[in-house]
Amino acid sequence: MAELRNYTLNFGPQHPAAHGVLRLVLELDGEVVERADPHIGLLHRATEKLAEHRTWLQSVPYMDRLDYVSMMCNEHAYCMAIEKLLGIEPPLRALYIRTLFDEVTRILNHLLNIGTHALDVGAMSIMLYTFREREDLIDAYEAVSGSRMHAAYYRPGGVYRDLPDRMPQYRESKWKDPATVKALNEARSGSLLDYLDDFCTRFPKYIDEYATLLNENRIWKQRLVGIGVVSAERARQLGFSGVMLRGSGVEWDLRKKQPYAAYDRVDFDVPVGVTGDSYDRYLCRMEEMRQSTRIMKQCIDWLRVNPGPVITDNAKVAPPSREAMKSNMEELIHHFKLFSEGMHVPEGEAYAAVEHPKGEFGIYLVSDGANKPYRMKIRAPGFVHLAAMDEMARGHMIADVVTIIGSQDIVFGEIDR
Amino acid sequence: MTAKLDTLAQLLDERLGDRIVAQRRALNELTIEVGVDRYREVLQTLRDDPELAFDQLIDLCGVDYSTWGAREQRARRFAVVVHLLSIDRNWRLRVRCFAEDDGFPMVPSLTPLWTCADWFEREAFDLFGIVFPGHEDLRRILTDYGFVGHPFRKDFPVSGHVEMRYDPTQQRVVYQPVSIEPREVIPRIVREDKYGNPRHG
């Protein structure tokens, strides 16, 4: 009889399937995981401490760097917490723009997740397709904020500026002949809303393509079905939220239950899983992308016919227009004070949560009335999900750990903060 | 929303009564304060009572009140703030518990009640040095292996105490005292009352 030995295996922190800098210490009995101990913090930047030393506005770009695949949703929670403390309500158009871009972000996040998750478990091509669509949406990010990833577009009181009327165009070059450029620019001939509208028309077909590649794929199903099963009761106990909770059959979506932005004005459905395994969570994400497209469409239709301000006119919170600033002394002072000293937020504490693509992303702010937060706590969904890694991986094979990481949708920017 | 908060506030009064030190309601959020001795008991009630039904621990974090400049003063330095959510009743609650001893803050662990308290408490221990008796595995979580100090305390500088570099002569990574000067670009300002009010002069 062969001699059996237990191994302790160090997985990561530079493993490509670890989705960042996860170091997992796995205790193995043969190929079976007996204990998984995630070591995190390798990407710890002390965002919460830094925020205590920055003005309220200066921390907005830090939010992008938390979960760096769903940037605007992070900003949304932060801005909502500040608005709650200030007691201001952004204009309706800003709420719709936020809803639109939250859904763009959700699709961005799920595309990345499904693509890389499939890559981890052995399906190469899907990633190329999902990244093709991500590119389109990242262009929308760029058009609206000037930045492809770290947008800093949501501001306390609204959004930075209104949606642009025209999209940046491709130009002819050594690599792109006139015919290619013409084809590429076709969707970009109108405004950003036209561009996104066109995307919403095309996108459901792409989701069908992904479904063809994965849904009934034998290898994909063998790797996912029955892996990382979490019961509804355990999911609550473990503090799960978002897809991780819905995959286990709990119907809970903050967009429906505690609506924010314009979610109570749009129509959409919330997909819920049955068995709570990795495959159900994958199916939930696929359906969420379809629902996101639906929400985007409704927002686009509304935004087309309802012009208006996109940021509050409260000069103590939002900067005045450039034009006003250059012709009016008072506006100049406001501008100067806002960008030097920063805004003051009344004493108090607030918790604001959004339905982030990964789960409930919350910001807990404590203010003592200064121009900087006294304490900020980021409630990152991934942190809680990764904490359950031990329970989810126990008894599975070592290869299934990769599936579970992918299905938890781990991103280290938010876990390590 | 407000009607719901009324119901919750009333329920809390009934179920917890004198076990809570204070109940506060602001910005459509309910906060209760509990003493360390009743902390675990109160949270157990909050979780198990079928009417309250706070089945999810959303967040647990430490707060250091040592440089708190607001009007309402805090008697103690460290507090643990817990955010609860009830999925069935769809309401939230914030529970604050001040640790008795500023030198060695201790708050009972919630790991027997919620599994997910595990990492949250490790984080609060790591960043603030709050100790959670009853926690079985209270290791550091976010800071480096062998880190000294609790970085989120207000007396810990943003730039830290040590920096790391690669030493080519020893051919390894070495730690040394930080070489950068701490600086503050924008000072922290708490404005006096009525500032900006035209009648204030």
Q: How far is CA A248 from the centre of its chain?
A: 21
Phi/psi of residue A86, nearest 5 degrees: -75, -20
With an 8 Å Cβ cutoff, are B143 and A44 in contact? yes
Spatial distance between the Cα atoms of B177 and A346, rounded to a whole number of angstroms: 38
Beta-carbon contacts of residue A338 (< 8 Å; ≥ 6 apart): A57, A318, A319
Spatial distance between the Cα atoms of B119 and B125, rounded to a whole number of angstroms: 10
| N-term to C-term CA, chain B | 40
As beta bridge partners, residue B93 has B84
Domain count, chain B: 1
**Which residues from A are below 8 Å from B189, CB to CB?**
341, 344, 370-371
With an 8 Å Cβ cutoff, are B87 and A250 in contact? yes
**Which residues from A are below 8 Å from B188, CB to CB?**
370-372
Q: Which of A321, A366, A332 is nearest to A347 (CA)?
A: A366
Residues 240-259 of A with CB under 8 A from B: 241, 250, 252, 257-258
pLDDT value, residue B200: 46
The answer to whether A374 and A47 are in contact (CB under 8 A) is: no
Chain B contact present for A370, CB below 8 A: yes
Chain B contact present for A344, CB below 8 A: yes
For A183, the enclosing helix (H) or strand (E) is helix A178-185
Instruction: Select the residue of B59, B114, B152 nearest A48 (Cβ to Cβ).
Output: B152
Residues of chain A with pLDDT under 70: 1-4
Dihedral sign for Cα atoms in the order B114, B115, B118, B124: negative
For residue B112, pLDDT over 50 is answered with yes
Spatial distance between the Cα atoms of A245 and A151, rounded to a whole number of angstroms: 29
Beta-carbon contacts of residue A181 (< 8 Å; ≥ 6 apart): A170, A171, A172
Domain membership flag for residue B148: no
Token pair recorded at residue A311: 């940021």
Domain membership flag for residue B193: no
Q: How far is CA A358 from the centre of its chain?
A: 7
Please report, to the nearest 10 degrees, the dihedral formed by the alpha carbons of residues B118, B124, B126, B129 taken in order: -120
Chain B contact present for A195, CB below 8 A: no
Phi/psi of residue B173, nearest 5 degrees: -85, 130
pLDDT value, residue A153: 92
Per the document, the length of chain A is 417
For residue B201, pLDDT over 60 is answered with no
Token pair recorded at residue A168: 């940046």
With an 8 Å Cβ cutoff, are A350 and B57 in contact? no
With an 8 Å Cβ cutoff, are B81 and A239 in contact? no
Query: In this structure, what CATH number is given to the domain that contains residue B44?
Result: 3.30.460.80
As beta bridge partners, residue A376 has A365
Domain membership flag for residue B165: no
For A304, the enclosing helix (H) or strand (E) is helix A278-305
Gap from A6 CA to chain B (nearest CA, Å): 22
Instruction: Select the residue of B90, B143, B189 nearest A257 (Cβ to Cβ).
Output: B90
Q: Which of A161, A270, A282, A281 is nearest to A214 (CA)?
A: A282
Q: Which of B58, B71, B93, B94 to mutate to test the interface with A (most CBs of A within 10 A)?
A: B58
Phi/psi of residue A219, nearest 5 degrees: -65, -45
Chain B contact present for A84, CB below 8 A: yes
With an 8 Å Cβ cutoff, are A237 and B115 in contact? yes
Q: Which residues in B1-29 are b (16+ Cβ under 10 Å) and which e?
A: eeeebeebbeebeeebeebbeeeeeebeb
For residue B198, pLDDT over 60 is answered with no
The three-class DSSP label of residue A150 is coil
pLDDT value, residue A144: 92
Domain membership flag for residue B191: no
pLDDT value, residue A74: 92
For residue B119, the enclosing domain spans 2-143
Domain membership flag for residue B164: no
A-B contacts at Cβ under 8 angstroms = 118
Domain membership flag for residue B201: no
Token pair recorded at residue A281: 């969570």
ipTM of the complex, rounded to two decimals: 0.88
Across B167-186, average pLDDT: 89
| Confidence class for position B193, pLDDT limits 50, 70, 90 | low
Beta-carbon contacts of residue A174 (< 8 Å; ≥ 6 apart): none
Domain membership flag for residue B153: no
As beta bridge partners, residue B173 has B166
Q: Which of A22, A246, A349 to mutate to test the interface with B (most CBs of B within 10 A)?
A: A349
The answer to whether A260 and A254 are in contact (CB under 8 A) is: yes
Token pair recorded at residue A128: 């190329």
Domain membership flag for residue B161: no
Closest-CA residue in chain B for A347? B70
Q: Is the peptide bond before A13 cis (omega within 30 degrees of 0)?
A: yes
Dihedral sign for Cα atoms in the order A292, A295, A300, A306: negative
| Confidence class for position B94, pLDDT limits 50, 70, 90 | very high
| Confidence class for position B195, pLDDT limits 50, 70, 90 | low
Closest-CA residue in chain B for A334? B196
Query: C-alpha angle B67/B32/B102, rounded to 5°?
Result: 35
Spatial distance between the Cα atoms of A264 and A45, rounded to a whole number of angstroms: 36
Taking the CA atoms of chain A, what radius of gyration do you get in angstroms?
A: 23
Tell me, what DSSP letter sits at residue A18? G
Beta-carbon contacts of residue A23 (< 8 Å; ≥ 6 apart): A10, A11, A12, A13, A38, A39, A40, A42
Q: Which of B138, B58, B42 is nearest to A238 (CA)?
A: B58
DSSP A244-268: HHHTTT----HHHHS--TTGGGS--
Please report, to the nearest 10 degrees, the dihedral formed by the alpha carbons of residues A229, A231, A236, A239 taken in order: -10
Q: For strand A158-159 and strand A348-356, is the pairing parallel, antiparallel, or unpaired?
A: unpaired
The predicted-structure confidence for A74-121, as pLDDT tens digits, reads as follows: 999 999 999 999 989 999 999 999 999 999 999 999 999 999 999 888
Q: Which residues of B touch A (CB under 8 A)?
A: 26-29, 31, 55-59, 61, 63-64, 68-72, 81, 83, 87, 90, 92, 94, 114-116, 118-119, 140-144, 151-152, 158, 184, 186, 188-191, 196
Q: Give chain A's largest Cα–Cα span.
A: 89
Chain B contact present for A351, CB below 8 A: yes
pLDDT value, residue B68: 82
Own/partner pairs for A335-342, CB < 8 Å, 24+ apart? A338/A57, A339/A57, A340/B186, A341/A55, A341/A371, A341/B186, A341/B189, A342/A55, A342/A56, A342/A57, A342/A58, A342/A371, A342/A372, A342/B186
Tell me, what DSSP letter sits at residue B116? T
Token pair recorded at residue B32: 């209760």
With an 8 Å Cβ cutoff, are A351 and B64 in contact? no
With an 8 Å Cβ cutoff, are B142 and A40 in contact? yes
The predicted-structure confidence for B31-56, as pLDDT tens digits, reads as follows: 999 989 889 989 999 999 888 889 99
pTM: predicted TM-score of the whole model, two decimal places: 0.91
**Which residues from A are below 8 Å from B63, CB to CB?**
366, 375
With an 8 Å Cβ cutoff, are B116 and A384 in contact? yes
Closest-CA residue in chain B for A233? B55
